[in-house]
A and B are shown apart, each in its own frame.
Chain A
Amino acid sequence: NAGVMQNPRHLVRRRGQEARLRCSPVKGHSHVYWYRQLPEEGLKFMVYLQKENIIDESGMPKERFSAEFPKEGPSILRIQQVVRGDSAAYFCASSPPYHEQFFGPGTRLTVL
């Protein structure tokens, strides 16, 4: 069984460009979580999605950030007009409800 896949693993963008981060959950998992991790800081929850629905986006900035988990295909975290402060590692995790989370390897975003 393949684990959680994330791509790209590394992404470099200039200020003002868009960043698209993709996450393919473990097969059969209907719950996806996105987290951001800054150097020397903890893991911060951003958004929780089930298929075609956003359940909780309380950790996601209201502007420039959006997430989706379509019926078919991977979950996408989209950051528009990136700024240097968006540079971080972005992790995706999947799980069934009330069960353990499995994390992907992360996407490291660098904004120049």
Chain B
Amino acid sequence: KQEVTQIPAALSVPEGENLVLNCSFTDSAIYNLQWFRQDPGKGLTSLLLIQSSQREQTSGRLNASLDKSSGRSTLYIAASQPGDSATYLCAVKGGGSYIPTFGRGTSLIVHP
């Protein structure tokens, strides 16, 4: 059974810092990995999707990498802003299943 862990659970940083959020998974036979952000009381917004054949994806200040062999993905946020404050979740789909497994998320606060 796939297990997904996100570290740290919470993070508070001053504006302008570069950040790394971590996601680890136990079964490396994945189809893809997706990063989301969730604002309080809202739904999930897709940030980046990495297919199993890819090593990284970039969108603006966000960069996500994937290392299947070690069962890890990182989400890099450059020059953080207060508007980046949210919970970030990773979801792993694979192991012969269409059902993604979600981590518990990293709660990020970027203060001015």
Contacts and interface: CB of A to CB of B under 8 A. Distances in A.
Interface residues of A, number: 25
Interface string A62-92: 0000000000000000000000000000010
Interface residues of B, number: 23
B32 to A, nearest CB: 7
Interface stretch (B21-29, B44-52, B60-68, B76-84): B44-52
Contact of B42 (A4, A93, A106): A106
Contacts of B36: 103
Interface of B: 31-32, 34, 36, 41-46, 49, 89, 91, 93, 97-105
A100 B43 contact: no
B42 A42 contact: no
Contacts of A98: 31-32, 93
Nearest to A55: B98
A36 to B, nearest CB: 12
Closest A-B pairs by Cβ, 4 of them: A103-B44, A100-B49, A42-B104, A105-B43
A43 B89 contact: yes
B98 A99 contact: no
Contacts of B44: 43, 91, 93, 103
B27 to A, nearest CB: 16
Contacts of A4: 43
Contacts of A41: 104
